[in-house]
Structure 1
Amino acid sequence: MDIEPVRSGASGITIQHRTADIEAASKPWKDDLSASQIARRFGVSPNVIGGIAFRNRALFSSKPRARNCRPHESKRAPRKDKTAMRDRKPDTIIIPPHKFDLERLPFAKRLLELRPGECIWPINDGSPFLFCAAKTAGKYCQHHQSRAVAVHRVAKGEK
C-alpha cells in the first residue's frame, strides 16, 4: 500500500500520504518532536500524525511517558495511617428522636409504602428508614413543616 488518503482539519483537505512521507514524519518523531510540531511541518492536524503513528507503529516507536510532571517533587506524599482512620469517630451529631416522632413510629411507613398526601419526614435513623406518613396537603405534616421552618430560621440567624 503506497498511498493512503487522509482527511485533515475542518477545511476538509485530502492529503495523499506516501510511504516516503510517512517515513519522513517518523524521523522527527524519533527525534522526540511532538505530534503538534510534526503536524505544523507537514501542514496537517496533530490528529493526522497521531493516526499515522498508530497505524504505522513499526516506524513510530512508542515514546516513554513522563512519570512525574514536577521533577522537583519526586517524593510521594506519605500515606495516611488507616488505623487512625478506623479509630476516628464520625463527624455526625446524633440527634435524639423528638417526642412526636416516637408517637408516630407505630404508624410509620417505609419509602416505597408512602402514598401522595403523606408526610415524608424521616422519623428514625435507618435500617430501614421509616417516614411519618401523617396525612398532609404538601410534603410534610403541620408539625414537621413547623420544625423544618424553625431549623431554617435558626440556620439563617432570623428571630
Structure 2
Amino acid sequence: MPATWTDDRVDTLTRLWRDGLSASQIARDLGGVTRNAVIGKVHRLGLSGRAAPHVPGARRSEPRGERRYRRPQIAAQAIRPASVTPAAIPPVEPVPDTGLATILSVRWSQCRWPIGDPLADGFRLCGRGKARGAYCAAHGALAYRPTERNHLMKLAGLR
C-alpha cells in the first residue's frame, strides 16, 4: 500500500497542520500514512509554525525555568537564639592514622577514610567499622561537619 504524497494530500496535510491538528490526527484523516510519515513530510515542507498550537491539557502556569524549588527564607532572628554562639559547634577529636585496610581488602562494612598519598606504596584506608556514611564515627565527624547555620537551627529546634 504505497501512499504517495500527491498534491491533494500535501494540500490537505498543510491545511490540517495549520488548523492545529496533531500528526496522529492528520495521519488518521489522510489514511495510509503513519504519524512519523506526517511529521517527516511537515519538516521537509518547512511547516514549522501553526495558527493555533494543539495543547491536549492545560497550559503551564509558569515557565519551565521558574519551576525550581525555592528554599523558604528564614529570618536571622529565628535561627540565632541569643544563648547560642558560633563557638557552640563541637570540636573534632583527632583520629590516629593507623590504616588497617587496602583498596583491595576493604569490606563493605569498613571505613573508607583514605590515609596517605593514593599514589604511594603505603596508601591505606581506615578499615574500622562503619558508623556514619562510608566512615567510622571519628572520620564521619570530620567528613560531615555541620555548617554554623545548620548547627544553630538544630540547637534552636528548627530542624
Higher relative CO (Cα under 8 Å, sequence separation at least 6) belongs to: 2
Question: Higher helix share goes to which structure?
Answer: 1
TM-score, with length taken from structure 1: 0.43
Give the strand-richer structure, 1 or 2.
Answer: 1
